[in-house]
Amino acid sequence: DAGVIQSPRHEVTEMGQEVTLRCKPISGHNSLFWYRQTMMRGLELLIYFNNNVPIDDSGMPEDRFSAKMPNASFSTLKIQPSEPRDSAVYFCASSNPGFQPQHFGDGTRLSIL
């Protein structure tokens, strides 16, 4: 079975540019999560969706960040404009509802110069 698929794997861009990260969850999973991982802050939940609906976006750092899930098989995390402090590894994870394991994608390593 295919796991969670994220793209791109690596992104290097200059500050001020728009960045779009993409995620395809495991088929049949109802919940999707976006995380950010840095050495300083660890693994932080940014936003999560249940049945394509955003449930909790309290972890989104500021208005420059936005996330969408137009259908059950696709989600995007957008940063506009990007800043050097946004540099991190961004993970997408999906799961079935109700205290089930979260399956992580391989992540996108983002570097903002």
> Contact residues for another protein (CB under 8 A)?
31, 42-45, 48, 50, 55-56, 91, 95, 97-107
How many angstroms separate the Cα of 36 from the Cα of each of 2, 75, 77, 88, 105?
22, 15, 11, 6, 12
Report d(CA 77, CA 68) in Å as an integer. 7
Q: How far is the CB of 16 from another protein (least distance, A)?
A: 28
Map tokens 């969850």 to a residue. 25
CB 5 within 8 A of CB 105: yes
Q: How far is the CB of 20 from another protein (least distance, A)?
A: 20
CB 52 within 8 A of CB 70: yes
Q: How far is the CB of 80 from another protein (least distance, A)?
A: 25
Q: How far is the CB of 104 from another protein (least distance, A)?
A: 4
Return the amino acid letter for 28. Answer: G
The smaller minimum CB distance to another protein, of residues 71 and 99, is found at 99
The smaller minimum CB distance to another protein, of residues 33 and 65, is found at 33
Q: Is the dihedral of CA 67, 98, 2, 45 positive or negative?
A: positive
